[in-house]
Amino acid sequence: MIREADQDGDGQISFDEFSRLLLPQEARPLVCGKFTGEKKAGESRYLRNALLRDDEPLIDNFRGYTNLKDIFEANVKNYPSKKFLGTRARIAGEGGAYTFGEYQWKTYGDVNDNARAIASYLYKHDLAPTVTNEEGTFRFIALYSKNREEWVCTDFGCLISGITTVTLYDTLGQESIDYILD
């Protein structure tokens, strides 16, 4: 039990390690990430998963791919007809209630076509402003949406065209969104 709890291998059980082992999930402190390294002027610090030890190496490639764009494009090329993105059909019932039917699947090829059409639209209408600083030139767009098929296709459209997505989730609440948009 002690070996299981001692996540950092220092031979002692910290409060965080103790709480992860013994407290129910809902009572545990919510720790998603932790900064590592020193803060350098003009640079962002690395943010790591809080459950990884500082000395644990990060994966720097996956089967020779080093970024999500390359992985996605390889899957589009190798598996264009393979199911990739599923959405359950929403069926209206009596009294405004909904049920959900079977998944309706899009293939890698379908998602790629949608993503490229979205990317083209964003560029054509200059909806991803360019920001230039000492690090280079970048394009950004903020997306506010529920987690759904259209969001995923838009995110992949941004990914394949070099647009950085700033994600705003509906779970932030209207007050937060109003503040951000002001």
**Domain regions of the chain by residue span:** 14-58, 61-182
CB 81, CB 109: distance < 8 Å: yes
Alpha-carbon Rg for the chain in angstroms: 21
Comparing C-alpha atoms, which of 106, 109, 119 is closest to residue 157?
119
pLDDT 10s digits, 1-51: 667 677 777 777 776 666 666 655 555 555 566 777 777 777 766 767 777
**Which pLDDT band holds residue 154 (cuts at 50, 70, 90)?**
very high
CB 102, CB 88: distance < 8 Å: yes
CB 76, CB 109: distance < 8 Å: yes
Instruction: Please state the pTM of the whole predicted model.
Output: 0.62
Pairing of the two strands 83-92 and 46-49:
unpaired
Domain 61-182 CATH (choose: 3.40.50.980, 3.40.605.10, 3.20.20.100, 3.40.50.800): 3.40.50.980
Alpha-carbon torsion (135, 142, 170, 174), positive or negative: positive
